[in-house]
Amino acid sequence: MSYTDGRGRHRADRAPITPLTTLSRTAGAAARRSVLVAAASSGLVATALAPGAQAATHSEPAKISTVDFDALTSQAREALAAAPVIAVASDAPFAVESAAVQVTAPAGAAETVSRTEATSRTTERTAVPSVTVSTDGSIGARAVSVALQLTGIRYVSGGSSPAEGFDCSGLVSYVYAQLGIYVPHSSSAIRDMGTVIPASEMLPGDLLWSPGHIAIYAGDGMQVEAVYAGTASRYAPIWQDSYTVLRVY
């Protein structure tokens, strides 16, 4: 007599296979491949694929948070969440090939050149005028000779030397100082110290004074003077409408 317990045998519970099952499995595989691609782009997959590579892993599976989870299916999200993060040891060798790069400027490109402009501070001097001066050896003739050597020096208010420049009284004072004669550096003071000479008796070396200006008479209607800013000491015709003739020697 056979006994039947009435209970049928059942297969283990499984999810039913439908057309969506294939799509779901394909999405999961694609998600895993995207993880490998992302790791490869950062250089991390090299350790995972090398059999002898010594990769450091965490004891707890880490979550990858750089993927858009909303774009994945539920199975893909589960597979991605369980995927461990692969870390590479800090002393792992990493070779980078380098090559010299030559850059050629486009045709017509402007070339920038750094230059240092050297500015000369030397005051330009005019040539000493060719003038016939009395050779009688008088103080006046010698004064004119010295004055002619000082033409072409820039005008400087208060100046009294070739190095710094001359104003009108500074030129007169410097010329007579070369002859051992003191003359003040002031046109009004020179007017007070000098001896007035009639215009008909004036000689080279006498001084021509007018309000605010003084010059050295050079003979033949000419004078040596420092006039105003922006000009140089010069040998020029007498231009004053009226003047007082002074002798300081």
Q: Which residue has the tokens 């490998």?
A: 36
Indicate the residue type of 56: A
For 106-119, write each residue's pLDDT tens digit. 444 433 333 333 33
**Among candidate residues 30, 63, 218, 117, the one with its CA nearest the CA of residue 208:** 218
pLDDT at 229: 94
pLDDT at 56: 43
Residue 94 pLDDT class (50, 70, 90 cuts): low
Mean pLDDT of 48-73: 49
Domains and CATH numbers, the chain: 19-88 (no CATH), 139-247 (3.90.1720.10)
Alpha-carbon torsion, ordered 50, 52, 57, 59, to 10 deg = 130
- Can you give the C-alpha Rg of the chain in angstroms? 53
For 183-216, write each residue's pLDDT tens digit. 999 999 999 999 999 999 999 999 999 999 999 9
Residue 2 has pLDDT above 70, yes or no: no
Indicate the residue type of 66: T
pLDDT at 78: 72
